[in-house]
């Protein structure tokens, strides 16, 4: 199937997922929507998150006829994926904090989850945290990464402000002797180095990009959605915010090509 895979996030964070999917499925065309004008999603009400997720999906489906959508955002997945699946017929791949692998591997019986308020307060996240961790006597230290998304969305981010916030957020996890920190927001892998510098070597940092990429491949196979032609795949990027900021961050992630993001109003 020639049609592209669609991705959306509240901003540049989902590029960490886009990159993993692109590496695993290099023959696929993609369309990525950064809803940066409405970031952060994490501080919106569940109803507002559902509305933004519906608008983003409508854009990917009506304007680009995407064959599958990767919800490259934990906050949108945990609050809206059910509504998206009920509203549209294409497959939706969601992303949730990697609580299960952390809970299966912890030696200290204590794991940290850094995520948005929208994710941590969602019923889906609480269900997962209870099922895989708390019900097995594993403590879950939940910390809201307030302010981080705004800093990450800025290509000239203030590294001192970032470090100050991270110290404040990681300290309670260190006190609780976590041996894993789960990055429950797709923006956070962009600052993984800063996080691990503060957390130290004894704490492992987990994100969900690889499992999401594998799941996308599996669902593509299941529904026979793979692109079978071999011409160069096309990648299109849209931002409801400043496309220049998007392009700059894209390059900082180590990709050589210019994404030439296009401004869009949704």
Please give the positions annotated as active site.
73, 185
Restricted to residues 92-121, the positions that interact with ligand DGL (CB under 6 A) are: 116, 119
Q: How far is the CB of 255 from ligand DGL (least distance, A)?
A: 18
| Nearest alpha-carbon partner for 30 in 3, 57, 58 | 3
Decide: helix, strand or coil at residue 131. Answer: helix
Q: Is 90 in the site for ligand DGL (CB under 6 A)?
A: no
Q: How far is the CB of 63 from ligand DGL (least distance, A)?
A: 22
Q: Is 122 in the site for ligand DGL (CB under 6 A)?
A: no
In whole angstroms, what is the distance from residue 12 CA to residue 193 CA?
17
Pairing of strands 180-184, 139-144: unpaired
Q: Tell me how long the chain is.
A: 266
Which CB, 80 or 203, lies closer to ligand DGL?
Answer: 80
Q: How many residues touch ligand DGL (CB under 6 A)? A: 16
The strands making up 204-206's β-sheet, listed across from edge to edge, are: 139-144, 110-115, 180-184, 204-206
Which CB, 50 or 185, lies closer to ligand DGL?
Answer: 185
Q: How far is the CB of 222 from ligand DGL (least distance, A)?
A: 25
Contact (CB, 8 A) for 43 and 67:
no
**What residues have CB less than 8 Å from 19, skipping those under 6 apart?**
209, 253, 255
Considering only residues 74, 79, 110, 216, which one is a binding residue for ligand DGL as defined by CB under 6 A?
Answer: 74
- Kindly report the number of other CB atoms within 10 A of residue 265's CB atom: 5
Restricted to residues 31-70, the positions that interact with ligand DGL (CB under 6 A) are: 39-42
Which CB, 39 or 81, lies closer to ligand DGL?
Answer: 39
Q: Is 13 in the site for ligand DGL (CB under 6 A)?
A: yes
Q: How far is the CB of 30 from ligand DGL (least distance, A)?
A: 17
Q: Is 21 in the site for ligand DGL (CB under 6 A)?
A: no
Measure the CA dihedral 21/24/30/33, to 10°.
10
Q: Is 10 in the site for ligand DGL (CB under 6 A)?
A: yes
Nearest residue to ligand DGL on Cβ basis: 42
Q: Where do runs of H (alpha helix) occur along 45-89?
A: 46-58, 74-87
Q: How far is the CB of 120 from ligand DGL (least distance, A)?
A: 10
- Kindly report the number of other CB atoms within 10 A of residue 196's CB atom: 15
Q: Which residues contact ligand DGL by CB under 6 A? A: 9-10, 13, 39-42, 73-75, 116, 119, 149, 185-187
């Amino acid at each position: 199937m020639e049609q592209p895979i669609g991705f959306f996030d509240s901003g540049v964070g989902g590029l960490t997922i886009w990159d993993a999917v692109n590496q695993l499925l290099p023959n696929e065309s993609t369309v990525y929507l950064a809803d940066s004008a409405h970031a952060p999603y994490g501080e919106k009400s569940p109803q507002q998150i559902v509305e933004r997720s519906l608008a983003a999906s409508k854009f990917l489906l009506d304007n680009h006829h995407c064959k599958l959508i990767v919800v490259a955002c934990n906050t949108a997945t945990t609050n809206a994926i059910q509504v998206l699946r009920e509203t549209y017929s294409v497959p939706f791949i969601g992303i949730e904090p990697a609580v299960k692998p952390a809970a299966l591997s912890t030696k200290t019986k204590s794991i940290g989850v850094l995520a948005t308020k929208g994710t941590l307060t969602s019923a889906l996240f609480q269900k997962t945290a209870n099922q895989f961790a708390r019900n097995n006597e594993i403590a879950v230290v939940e910390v809201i990464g307030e302010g981080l998304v705004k800093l990450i969305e800025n290509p000239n981010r203030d590294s001192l402000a970032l470090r100050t916030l991270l110290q404040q957020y990681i300290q309670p996890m260190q006190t609780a002797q976590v041996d894993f920190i789960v990055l429950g927001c797709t923006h956070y892998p962009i600052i993984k180095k800063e996080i691990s510098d503060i957390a130290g070597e004894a704490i492992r940092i987990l994100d969900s990009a690889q499992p999401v990429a594998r799941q996308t491949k599996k669902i593509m196979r299941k529904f026979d959605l793979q692109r079978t032609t071999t011409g160069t795949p096309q990648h299109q990027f849209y931002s409801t915010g400043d496309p220049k900021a998007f392009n700059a961050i894209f390059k900082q992630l180590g990709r050589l090509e210019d994404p030439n993001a296009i401004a869009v109003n949704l």
